[in-house]
Structures are given as C-alpha cells and as structure tokens.
Amino acid sequence: MAQNQTKYSFIAEEIRNRIMNHEYPLDKPIPDEMTLSKEFDCSRMTMKKALEVLVLEGLLYRKRGHGTFIIKSALDRDKLQIHNQEVNGFTKLVDGKNVKSRVISFQVVFPDETIAERLNIEKETPVYDILRVRMVGKEPYVLEHTYMPVNVIPGVTQQVLEGSVYQYIQDELGLKIASSYKQIRADKPSKLDRDYLDCGETDPVMEVEQTVYLNNGVAFEYSLSRHRYDKFVFTTVNIARR
C-alpha cells in the first residue's frame, strides 16, 4: 500500500484492476462484502466504502437482493475513462502504460488576477508556470498548462516535471490530495494544440479547467488541460439517494 493511501482506496484500486483485467465474470455478481472483507483482512465497513468508490466511478452497480455487478460498458478500453471524481492525475489514470512528460516551458512567475483568485493567494505569491505535453509512448494525449504556489509545493524541478508531479507531492512531500473542482468544455484547436497534440485544424479538443485541493483545504493547482478528442471519454455518474 502506498504512503498516505487509505485501506479502502488500496482495496478499491485492487478490485478496479481485477475488473479491468476481466478477473471477474460479467454475467455474475462479484464476491460479496463478507467474502472480500476476509480476503483483504478488513472490516465490512471498509469494504463497503471501497466498493462505493467503484460504484461512484461507474464500474459497479448494486442490485438489491442479487449482489454487486460490473457495468459492462465501463470495460471499453478504446479511450481513457476520466470520471468526474478523478483527482489522481494523468500518470495514475493510464497506470501500466508508458507515460512520458515533455516540458515545453517551466518558470516561476507572479500570478495574474484569475490565477490568484483560483488558488486563493495574493498576486505577490510566486507560482510555478508549467507547460507540459503528456504522452503515452510516442503519442501526445494532453497539453497541460499548470500553476502551483511555490510555498505550497516546494522543490519542483525539471526532473520532477518529467515524471509524475502528483507522485512527487504524495510520496516525497507527504501531502494528501483530496478534491478538485472541474469545468469541462469543447473548443477549437489552438496553434499550441496543433503543434504539440498533432491536432488537425478541424479537430475538436476537450479543455478541462480545474482547481485541485489538499486535504487541509489548500488549493495547490490551477490548470487548463487540453485533451485530444479521440483519446478520452469523460464520464459522470449520478446516483439517486433514498
């Protein structure tokens, strides 16, 4: 289990991997909470919370009196699934694939009014201004423009940016990423998109504008990420509470 990872999130990750690797049959319920609790040596409450994570992600659904089943459409691997609850970062999203980060520009600047407002900081607070292309193998997937307060996330270097910033934040700084606020919109490709994402002039892009928070409520990232339309599916799950 990774540092700062809760027991239930570790279990959810393991069951998620089993689902994506087709280790459970699609026409039958997955093992019940009691069986899984014994396997993972945890309480039923912890197991219930782990399964609830996967229900909210749209991987599982509960059928009263029959058990918990896999949602078959969730196993479509043609495109990466980004869920509305996703706060794990790109490297974690494509776990198991050869992820590379190409740093286009990296500097420390003072934020403008919009960036300062999103990060809830003063305009005199230095921030990292980072522009990266996230690649899987040799193919570009996302063009990320990210701002982070230097005093909140210290020690970011070129080497960190060429890997996983979120892994650095969690494993090296010992901080816990808790939540994000996102807005998703379609847009026409810009020159940067065409240059770095291999977009055609008429190819749409999906832009994700987000602010991400640590578990102490401090905003540590404001970013604009431009996604290739042919590589991602954005998924939202709505569950009626009774």
Kindly give, in sequence order, each residue whose CB lies less than 8 Å from that of residue 96, ignoring residues fewer than 6 positions away: none
Distance between CA atoms of residues 139 and 99, nearest Å: 10
Amino acid 88: pLDDT:
57
CA torsion angle 227 229 230 232 (round to 10): 60
| CA dist 111 → 108, 130, 208, 212 (Å) | 9, 12, 19, 17
Name the strands in the sheet holding 139-149, side by side, starting at the edge strand that comes first in the sequence. Answer: 99-109, 127-136, 139-149, 219-228, 205-214, 177-187
Q: Look at 223 and 95; give whichever has higher pLDDT.
A: 223
Asked if residue 124 has pLDDT above 80, the reply is yes
pLDDT at 215: 84
% of the chain with per-residue pLDDT over 70: 84
Q: Mean pLDDT over residues 43-49, rounded?
A: 93
pLDDT-derived band at 103, boundaries 50, 70, 90: very high
pLDDT confidence of residue 57: 73
Gap between the Cα atoms of 134 and 223, Å rounded: 14
Confidence of residue 100 (pLDDT cuts 50, 70, 90): confident
Residue 78 has pLDDT above 80, yes or no: no
Write out pLDDT tens, residues 15-26.
988 988 889 998
| pLDDT band, very low/low/confident/very high, at 31 (cuts 50, 70, 90) | very high
pLDDT score of 82: 53
pLDDT band at 75 (very low <50, low <70, confident <90, very high): low
Distance CA 88, CA 94 (A): 10
Residue 90 has pLDDT above 80, yes or no: no
Q: 1: which residues sit within 8 A by CB, 6+ positions away?
A: 7, 10
Nearest of 165, 98, 103 to residue 132 by alpha carbon:
103
Quote the mean pLDDT of the chain: 86
pLDDT band at 235 (very low <50, low <70, confident <90, very high): low
Predicted confidence at residue 54, as pLDDT, reads 86
Confidence of residue 230 (pLDDT cuts 50, 70, 90): confident
State the distance between the two ends of the chain, measured CA to CA, in whole angstroms: 34
Indicate whether 91 pLDDT > 80: no
